[in-house]
Structure 1
Amino acid sequence: MYEDIINRYIQSYNERDIEGMLDCVTEDVIFENISNAGHSMRFEGRDAMGNVAELSGNAFSYRRQKLVSLVVGTGKAAAEIEFEGKAAVDLPNGVKAGESIKIRGASFFEFRGRLLSRIADYS
């Protein structure tokens, strides 16, 4: 059950299907992104997540997440994720428009029922 929702969330992300992503989360979802470069963000709620997903999607001409490994427990899961993309604009982390990036990170998921209630991405 948990693997299915994570796979659907990542597939929606890769397809730039914001509504599909939002269908995978609770109304009060918490999303965190923590970067080794010192940049981080945190927001709460489906509406905020949709707004950020649209903005971040526009920052890349191409982007893709690949699920490398997944460990699932009761109400929680941890994943190793590989991200690759090509910046469409200059990014705050120093990546310039037109540059490609490829990073590995970890994502931690918490569930309420069949939906994601917290997503924390570390890269």
Structure 2
Amino acid sequence: MSRDTIQTYFDAFNAGDTPAMLDCLTEDVAHHVNEGQVRIGKEKFGDFCDHMSRCYAENLTDMVIFLSEDGTRAAAEYTVNGTYKATDAGLPEATGQTYKLPAGSFFSLQDGKISRVVTYYNLADWVRQVS
């Protein structure tokens, strides 16, 4: 079931379906943003998704999901294929640039839901691609 939760989460991401992503999370989910602060709770996660959807259009491909034997932890490696739609504060100006990045996510799972999400990508590589 945990593998299904992770797959459902990423399928919802690719569909741009934030409510379906939120359905995969515990109420007190800890969201560790790449080079950012930890956000606690579904509401803050949803706010983050809204912001990301405004600034970026992304699709994840080449997905490989890994699951611990006890089903409490998971990881995924993938390629982010994106378009920079609107300028994000503190980052280069958006003009519709496209980018392609290797990335990964780490998860804690609790009762079939995601209780922790950690995402990593190389920000310097992204900046180079959109500058």
Normalising to structure 1: TM-score of the pair? 0.88
Alpha-carbon contact 1:9-1:24 (below 8 Å) kept: yes
The 1:121/1:102 distance shift into structure 2, 3 A limit, reads same
Correspondences of 1:57-72 after superposition (within 5 Å): 57-60=53-56, 62-72=57-67
Residue ranges of structure 2 left out of the alignment (5+ in a row): 122-131
List structure 1 segments (4+ residues) > 3 angstroms apart after TM superposition: none
Correspondences of 1:1-123 after superposition (within 5 Å): 1-34=1-34, 39-60=35-56, 62-73=57-68, 74=70, 75-91=72-88, 92-94=90-92, 96-123=94-121
Find the aligned partners of 2:91 and 2:78 in 1 and give their Cα distance. Answer: 19
The count of corresponding residues between Structure 1 and Structure 2 is 118
Residue ranges of structure 1 left out of the alignment (5+ in a row): none
Task: Kindly state the Cα deviation for residue 100 of structure 1 after the two structures are TM-superposed.
Answer: 0.5
Aligned-pair Cα RMSD in Å: 1.5
Task: Kindly state the Cα deviation for residue 67 of structure 1 after the two structures are TM-superposed.
Answer: 5.0
Higher helix share: 2
SS at match of 1:111: strand
Higher strand share: 1
Overall identity of the aligned pairs, in %: 25
Alpha-carbon contact 1:76-1:110 (below 8 Å) kept: yes
